[in-house]
Amino acid sequence: MLRRNQLIICIAYLLFVTCAEIVTIYEPKIGIISHAVILLALISYSALGSDTDRNFSLFLLALVFAPLIRILSLSMPFIHSNFIHGFLLISIPLYIAIIICMRVQELRPKEVGLCMPKQNRENMRIGVAVILFAIPVGIVEYLIVKPAPLPVLGVPNFIA
């Protein structure tokens, strides 16, 4: 019975996300609200279900990132700032959510892939090859795109 309820919850989540994405195509602000409702529902159900099945509760907590990322990406056009600064502002709540989720799930950085690889000659050769290849590719890309210089990062630019 418990597994059946979990399956129903997962299917409902998938349907709600699909509906929210369809709504987002036509009306982004309502899409943000839809994803916010999904986000709150996931957090609430994860908190309420933590007594019955901890693994499923942690699974629901991990699913929180999909609507959170969607809310942040949809809110990007509403930030009246430089595009690069917008990414910086949006990444802050995402990193905070990741750290909180890791703490709640009792995950160590190594378990989520945040570790340095073992240093051996093969890894060093691959790293040097990537760097040597990336430098000329970056120069060619710069010459093709010819980007404008970035504005100075400071408090007045965030306010403006």
Q: How many whole angstroms separate alpha carbon 157 and alpha carbon 160?
A: 5
Kind plus residue range of the DSSP H or E element containing 105? none
Tokens of 18: 């699909």
Tokens of 90: 């949006």
- What SS3 state is found at 43? helix
Sequence-distant (≥ 6) Cβ neighbours of residue 94 within 8 angstroms: 65, 68, 69, 72
Tens-of-pLDDT digits for all 160 residues of the chain?
668 888 998 999 999 999 999 999 999 899 999 999 999 999 998 888 777 888 898 999 999 999 999 998 888 776 666 677 778 888 888 999 999 999 988 999 888 888 777 777 777 888 889 999 999 999 999 889 887 776 666 666 555 5
